[in-house]
Chains A and B, each alone.
Chain A
Amino acid sequence: DSGVTQTPKHLITATGQRVTLRCSPRSGDLSVYWYQQSLDQGLQFLIQYYNGEERAKGNILERFSAQQFPDLHSELNLSSLELGDSALYFCASSTPFGGRNTEAFFGQGTRLTVV
């Protein structure tokens, strides 16, 4: 168990809909990262938050948005969903307060299927 919790584990929704993926980082970790992994693909970085602030942005579509709340949990919002958005979405956390950047710990992912 990595200590990173993602909910829900599975999500099936229709095209055009909006969904919210939730991530609770490891206790004390300040950074949260979101990654997208399409079928048999590598992990594509979407966005990073550090202590509530956006720190880095990757190939994140305008239809997607994220935020990190004061309790450090994060949500990834996906709207106007298309079939191509079907993927495994990972959240990872790292950087404990006062600690040196080390490895990122991954949640089990949310498998999104758009039908």
Chain B
Amino acid sequence: AQTVTQSQPEMSVQEAETVTLSCTYDTSESDYYLFWYKQPPSRQMILVIRQEAYKQQNATENRFSVNFQKAAKSFSLKISDSQLGDAAMYFCAYRSLSGTASKLTFGTGTRLQVTL
């Protein structure tokens, strides 16, 4: 079974600064997806960014980018120019591409505080 580990329960960043959230995972599969989801106080789950394992190029979405190290099974999220609206819980998630039983496995989350 796949596992996802987020070792930072809480992180803090000053507005306009850069912060990196860590995620590691364990799998024996070679083809899969990785995701970062954001959960603001509204509790809505919002997809931030996704990475397909077969792609070597790191995904980017505006101020959000990832550092995907497949061999090390590491998938960190970098948030540049942090804004107050980035304050939320961030969850790393793994999804198998094997067949149709393809649940998302989530890490325990990192709570990000953004300070002035």
Contact = CB atoms under 8 A, between A and B. Distances in A.
Interface string A95-115: 100001111111011010000
Given A103-B47, A103-B50, A45 B101 contact: no
Interface in A64-93: 88, 90, 92
A103 B43 contact: no
A37 B39 CA distance: 12
Contacts of B91: 42-43
Given A42-B106, A42-B108, A90-B45, A103 B35 contact: yes
A106 B106 contact: no
Interface of A: 30-31, 33, 37, 41-43, 45, 48, 50, 55-56, 58, 88, 90, 92, 94-95, 100-106, 108-109, 111
Contacts of B45: 43, 90, 92, 106, 109
Given A42-B106, A42-B107, A48 B43 contact: no
Nearest to A94: B102
Given A103-B35, A103-B50, A104-B95, A45 B44 contact: no
A45 B33 contact: no
Contacts of A37: 43
Contacts of B109: 42
- Kindly name the residue among A33, A88, A95, A103 whose own CB sees the greatest number of chain B CB atoms within 10 A: A103
Interface string B9-39: 0000000000000000000000001010100
Contacts of A103: 33, 35, 47, 50, 95
